Structure 1
């Protein structure tokens, strides 16, 4: 988008004024509401979507320059012919593809804009060598090869100069050959990193030794994995350490609900389930995204249909009567989203009590692997999920058989996650959009109705996850 000189702020304004995830109006009418630079971005996404759709119809195994396309049981031998056909017949599919691509663009620009803004005034170089551990007793092979794990942690605290902490964390992770993501802000630090056991142990010791954080070893949650669980290393300064979209000075973690240890939370859920047939005043609230709760959740929880955590405040605002005079038991993956989420809920002054699971589902499963949480625990890395029990609570989106392993949509330019069982994937059902036909289908034949991949509603379609 650099060639268009498109400003980040214009795109960000659009994200609030025109939510393409929930709008169902005609694409042309949507485009008319955009500014000139926004229209250029939307137009670019449409051109790419149109080109990708046409490319998916091209017959394979042809010589260079001798192309033909098959669509709707028709064969086209000229570019102009297939273009006219797609424009006249498949506009709804093109609109959906365009909206998905545009929403991905907005999400990307949102994160880039936040990082760019916060890094405009980076601090003067500071000597961080005192915080880098001496690893001469550890060989490079031990740092890069062997059994490993993934760490998940956070710490809310006041950081006067987050750029210094950012530089230290980046240097520390690079020295230890760790991958993952670390978010630093004036309100604290949030990280998930992977590496060998030696490397992650050294990372824990180094982070704990910093005087700002005052962390205990138990503050780092661990699971089997390693550096291969992440594509790369990303360390940056952000406004929030978990993106809720609210100013930390307005809704502070210091206003969070009462923390319950896993044993206490387990007893509360047990009492709630014992009164299942009675009218009770307790709500078990999952404050994660819908694609997380889809594959694993606490029994009889309330799981909002939100795509990212920044939608949580709107969900609360729209359902205040639901929480009025109720005791709320909140939970999330590792506890961090509950810190701000419970603070926001408490700020509305409608609940009788607000509690949160300390350490999140991660800690709960360590003590109660066969407890009241059933199914997989979604994680924000290449594993997508980890498990402690054998329950499968979700199903393949095509055949309905039990299945809970996400994979990326096979459609070009798509960034959705799809629940498709091995049988359906073998049949070519690997995408989330009707514009993508089955891979194994004979291109010269019209697609049968069982090959048409129905689209999930836009409110309920996962994307490549970015926020923990």
Structure 2
């Protein structure tokens, strides 16, 4: 396989992979895959399902190369993962805390068995050809991502389904799209995986021509010159970068540490924003504020002790759990006090 790993002298190699394939035997394969990753000190998450594989892992270049050889050539999958969408990158530090090989019903959850990208999928469109397609008047352009992702950036003229989870996309199709009217539908998502399933779903519902952006927004931002780009804003990514712009340069967006909603500069200028505690999207959620305050306190204490760098992720997770328990206990006491006060008035 040809690697697109940057030629930086960095100690870790990162592999992101997804492939829709017929894998009814994943439960039997899981132990061997987990053992291989553990033996190579690889960390990250791989999701296995009867419909395919999805995930991101990191390790030494030799360990990742050995994993790739096992996945695509010598291991229990045989040649079933041939043609997988694979992206390699390099990292100066291990980006993950542990290794998880998870079994799930789907690698991307839609809960629509009729959507099977391994059998039927829409037409892939290369990033270089995307502008010409979406500028056509007879093409309906749909962003398949969730509302908080769309809020940071999207393509001009794209419809926003305003979903909070991908499973809600089915309802959007039912109420807003019509195969008799919408003869050509083009879709896009972050890296391409959701669009594969979404395009398969539309085809199963009788839509005639369905297109999707190959490699997703990330590939588009990587290869299309900014002067020619039709993407406005930043693309949300599911790691500590929060969002990226053209050339995959880290963007300006940050995360609210209370509710995890991505925030633009305008959001951070809102009076409801308090760094590390609250934002305009959670300003009335006292439980989240209490959890955020406790988390910040725990991280500061850990930093003073010099022990925070289990990794900030571990510190955040531990602080979140403690804060959540404390907030739940306080909320329970408040409810009990209110109930007692109400009973006393009777």
**Taking structure 2 as the reference length, what is the TM-score of the superposition?**
0.67
Listed one character per residue, the Cα deviations across residues 196-215 of structure 1 (whole Å, up to 9, x for unaligned) are 44443333333222414343
Which residue of the partner structure matches residue 257 of structure 1? 122
Within 5 A, what are the aligned runs for 1:233-312?
233-247=99-113, 250-253=114-117, 254-269=119-134, 271-272=135-136, 280-312=137-169
- Residues 1:392 and 1:203: Cα distance change in structure 2 (over 3 Å): closer
Structure 2 unaligned segments of length 5 or more: list them: 1-8, 294-319, 321-346
- Return the alpha-carbon distance in structure 2 between the equivalents of residues 315 and 261 of structure 1: 26
Q: 1:162 offset after TM fit, Å?
A: 0.7
Query: Could you tell me how far 1:346 is from its partner in structure 2?
Result: 1.8
Please tell me whether the aligned partners of residues 151 and 221 of structure 1 are also in contact (alpha carbons under 8 angstroms). yes
Give the C-alpha shift of residue 187 in structure 1. 1.7
* Matches for 1:357-436 after TM superposition, within 5 Å: 357-368=213-224, 370=226, 371-389=229-247, 404-409=253-258, 415-419=259-263, 421=268, 424-426=273-275, 429-430=278-279, 432-436=282-286
Closer/same/farther in 2, CA of residues 194 and 421 from structure 1, 3 Å limit: farther
Residue 388 and residue 363 in structure 1: after superposition, are their counterparts in 2 closer, same or farther (change >3 A)?
A: same
What is residue 298 of structure 2 aligned with on the other side? none
Distance 1:369 1:238, change over 3 A: farther
Deviation at 1:389, TM superposition (A): 4.9
Over aligned residue pairs, what C-alpha RMSD do you find?
A: 3.4
Structure 1 residue 264: deviation in Å? 2.4
Distance 2:250 2:44 in 1: 28
Per-residue Cα deviation, 1:111-151 (whole angstroms, up to 9, x for no partner) = xxxxxxxxxxxxxxxxxxxxxxxxxxxxxxxxxx9443543
Query: Number of residue pairs matched?
Result: 271
Closer/same/farther in 2, CA of residues 326 and 225 from structure 1, 3 Å limit: farther
Contact 1:179-1:193 at 8 Å conserved across structures: yes
3-state DSSP of counterpart to 2:256: strand
Q: Which runs of 4+ in 1 moved over 6 A?
A: 390-393, 437-440
Shift in Å, 1:192? 1.8
Query: Is this contact kept in 2: 1:407–1:417, CA < 8 A?
Result: yes
2:95 maps to: 229
User: What is the DSSP-based 3-state SS (H/G/I as helix, E as strand, rest coil) of the residue aligned with 2:220?
Assistant: helix
After superposition, the Cα gap between the structure-2 partners of 1:239 and 1:265, relative to the gap in structure 1 and judged at 3 Å, is same
CA distance in 2, matches of 1:334, 1:229: 19
Q: Which consecutive unaligned segments of at least 5 residues does structure 1 have?
A: 1-144, 273-279, 394-402, 410-414, 441-463
- CA drift at 1:184: 0.9
Inter-partner Cα distance in structure 1 for 2:237 and 2:88? 12
Structure 1, residues 47-76: CA drift from partner, whole Å, max 9, x if none? xxxxxxxxxxxxxxxxxxxxxxxxxxxxxx
Structure-2 change in CA distance of 1:379 and 1:427 (3 Å): closer
After superposition, the Cα gap between the structure-2 partners of 1:285 and 1:313, relative to the gap in structure 1 and judged at 3 Å, is same
Q: Of residues 139, 143, 155 in structure 1, which corresponds to 2:19?
A: 155
1:213 maps to which of 69, 73, 80: 80
